[in-house]
Structure 1
Amino acid sequence: MFIRKNVMLLAAFFLAAVLITGCGKGEEGSNAGQSALPSSSAAESPSPSESAQSADPSGTRIYKDALGREVEIPTHPERIITSQYLPQMIALGIKPIGAATHLLTGFDAIKDQIGGIEDVGPANELNIEKALTLQPDLILVAEWNKDSVEQLSKIAPTVVVQWADKDPFGHLREVADVLGKTDEAEQWIQAYEKKSEEARSKLAGHVADGETFGVVVIGGYENRQLRVYGSGNVGYTLFETLGLSMTDRVKAAWEKGDNGQGLAISLEQLPELASADRLFLVTFHNDEDFVKEVEQSKLWANLPAVKNDKVYTVDDGLWFSYDVMSFAAQLDDAVRLLTR
């Protein structure tokens, strides 16, 4: 949050912003006083029919967002700021004027398409002054920005799109709904499905029947962290889209465990949970000493994939990104690695 010593100056500051943007403050309906994020079971995604029902000749419509707020938004926004949904916007052919810092530094799949987008600070605490200077006509945020929504709404209409409990295709459809691009989203998904079929066809002659695959991640969230993944997050493209097989032990552990951040394992568990014929390896650079310890250990050296030179070291900026643009690029990378 940003604080001014002089309250009157702050009020004048925001009033000027509203007049400049010409967007007005988002309107709240019967759930206007709702401050807590809805639970995953209670939260309902706005349907296209609900979202578009109030389009009017002035070029605005009423959108019901993830917090149950009814917000008047532009039918065709042109100056958008986002705290989370940059890859989805790029997939829809839309380039925002501002995005959170992590979106501009950690997504390899879109790094060549983000030139000119302004950095508006951390995702959970957007820089209000910077956002104001950009004069947006729409601000698109996730549920972790709920405490800033009122303040952001003084700059431009602000819509909350829920991130939790949705896969990347759900994120794409939600963002498309807000931006009036639902047809483009479905076209993108259809093209992705075709690309997936082509990738599976290309791999058919390079992956033997019964051959197993695994995903090992070293480092990341904290020091001395070693994880394996099943079909979630970094393993989605391999196991869900390409239909490759994981080992029975990983599958059983994955289905049983809390999979949000992978299955944390000890070095001693590598022979049990990293025994696939081929391994995709992601290494983070926050703990280089531990990476060396793992890769120089006898336990690692004796893994089947290591002994047979079938370990594929992949980039964390591509394979650890959970969005549709990254998924599409992962398909290309997987085909490249597995057919060489």
Structure 2
Amino acid sequence: MASWGRKCIWTAVLVLAMSALAACGTNNNAAGGKNVQTENAANPTAASNTSTDASTDTSADNGTRTVVGEFGEVEIPVSPKRVAGIYVEDYLKALGVTPVVQWYHPSWGKQDYLNLDVPEYDITGSIEALLEKNPDLIIADGGADAAKYEQYSKVAPTYRLPEKVLQDSRQMLTAIAEVLGIPEKGEAVLAEYDQKVADGKAKLQQALGQEKVAVIRLNVAEKTFALFGVKNRFTGVIYDQFGLTPVPMAAEMTEFQSIISEEVIPDLEADHIIVFPDNGGWDTAENEEAIKILDGPLWKNLPAVKNGNIYRMERSHWQSGAITANSMKLDDLLKAMVK
């Protein structure tokens, strides 16, 4: 009996010892974080929610996605923060995005009408200057050929707009908004723009009817003129979107522009003439001599001039075919032509 009693005591001691070891093991697992797995295993919904939230945060902040540009697929940030838009800053500004640089060319200047307060990037200079600005995405238009695209791609992921969208500012805006991950913003900008164009077109057609319009650029250095055709990416919008009637020579042109002599201008039979210098402004000292041409006897005898229908426009936005520039052109035309 005593022997049986001793066995019971030892059994009880062993049970207590094993219980203590089990408790100790549980505490060690908790210290190692394994209790989290246990809790999630007991609550599958909590585990699922935790995983989804983490995935969403990572995607929003650090994720990438693949898009297809003119030169193939490129992996870009889901939410780019530092964007360089080579020749496309106009679209970035319209979408509420401030670029890290603004392109600049020593001979052409920059798009002054945007009034961007960012460093200039000389596109004829070293690519190192762009690298220093640390962009996380570069967007380029048709000015970037395959070689230039490769250069930009060494700086940051580069999306070169497809050739098929370059002729239409609306398609370019949509493509850029998609790449930036803000398609809904692009839709809103376009809706506002389309409404403005519809209203402006009605007013212009009522004021001008079928009167013929010519767009001419004064090439200051050469003292020549360029007639812009209906396919010109800068000014074709006034015909295909705003509804103005081109002079016959411009309507028949397949090229973007044609260099013409001063003597050809009367043959255009233009009821209205839009003119701007190729560089600088109307009050720029370097342009003073060339601008005197417009005060010569040939110009004074043009019906458009006699009727007060010659319009001296500012070069900066008239030599851009982007969405903000086009909106500004419409403002100019309404102010000049609708009385």
Aligned to 1:78: 81
Contact in 1 for aligned 2:224/2:262 (Cα 8 Å): no
Mapped partners of 2:135, 2:172: distance in 1: 22
Measured after TM superposition, the shift of residue 94 of structure 1 is: 0.9
The CA deviation at 1:318 is: 1.9
Partner residue in 1 for 2:121: 120
SS in 2 for 1:120: strand
Partner Cα distance (2:295, 2:219) in 1: 15
What residue number does 2:201 align with?
A: 200
Aligned pairs for 1:80-99 (under 5 A) are 80-99=83-102
Write the distance in 2 (CA, Å) between the matches of 1:283 and 1:300: 16
2:263 maps to 1:259:
no
- Distance in 1 between the 2:161 and 2:242 partners? 29
Distance 2:295 2:194 in 1: 40
Q: 1:79 to 1:292 in 2, by over 3 A?
A: same
CA shift for structure 1 position 323: 0.8
Whether the 8 Å CA contact 1:163–1:171 is kept in 2: the answer is no
Do the aligned partners of residues 178 and 333 (structure 1) sit closer, same or farther apart at CA in structure 2, a change above 3 Å counting? Answer: same
SS at match of 2:96: coil
Contact between 1:149 and 1:158, CA under 8 Å: does it hold in 2? yes
Greater Cα offset, 262-271 or 87-96: 262-271
- TM-score computed with the length of structure 1 as normaliser: 0.70
The structure 2 residue matched to 1:63, chosen from 53, 67, 88, is: 67
Of the two, which has the highest radius of gyration? 2
Match of residue 213 from structure 1: 213
Change (3 A) 1:156 1:213: closer
**Following the alignment from structure 1 to structure 2, what is the Cα–Cα distance between the partners of residues 126 and 178?**
27
For 1:118, the aligned partner's letter is P
1:289 aligned to 2:289? yes
2:111 to 104, 107, 129: 107
Unaligned segments of structure 2, at least 5 residues:
1-57, 280-285
For residues 148 and 213 of structure 1, the distance between their equivalents in structure 2, rounded to whole angstroms, comes to 37
- Bigger RCO (CA 8 Å, 6+ sep): 1
Partner secondary structure for residue 207 of structure 2:
coil
The residue that corresponds to 2:158 in the other structure is: 158
Per-residue CA deviations over 1:1-23 (Å, capped at 9, x if unaligned) read xxxxxxxxxxxxxxxxxxxxxxx
Distance 2:333 2:236 in 1: 12
TM-score w.r.t. length of structure 2: 0.70
**Is the CA contact 1:227–1:265 (under 8 Å) kept in the aligned structure 2?**
yes
Equivalent position amino acid for 2:173 in 1: L
Deviations 1:184-237 (A, max 9, x none): 222222211100122133345533x443222222216x6132122342344334
Structure 2 counterparts to residues 211-290 of structure 1, below 5 A:
211-219=211-219, 223-231=222-230, 232-247=232-247, 249-251=248-250, 254-255=251-252, 257-260=253-256, 262-273=257-268, 275-284=269-278, 288-290=288-290
* Most deviating of 194-203 and 140-149: 140-149
Task: After TM superposition, give the deviation of residue 335 of structure 1 in Å.
Answer: 0.7
Seq. identity, %: 27
Give the CA deviation at 1:126. 5.7
Q: Which amino acid aligns with 1:196?
A: V
Query: Any stretches of 5+ residues in structure 1 without a counterpart?
Result: 1-54
Q: Could you tell me how far apart the structure 2 residues matched to 1:309 and 1:148 are? A: 46
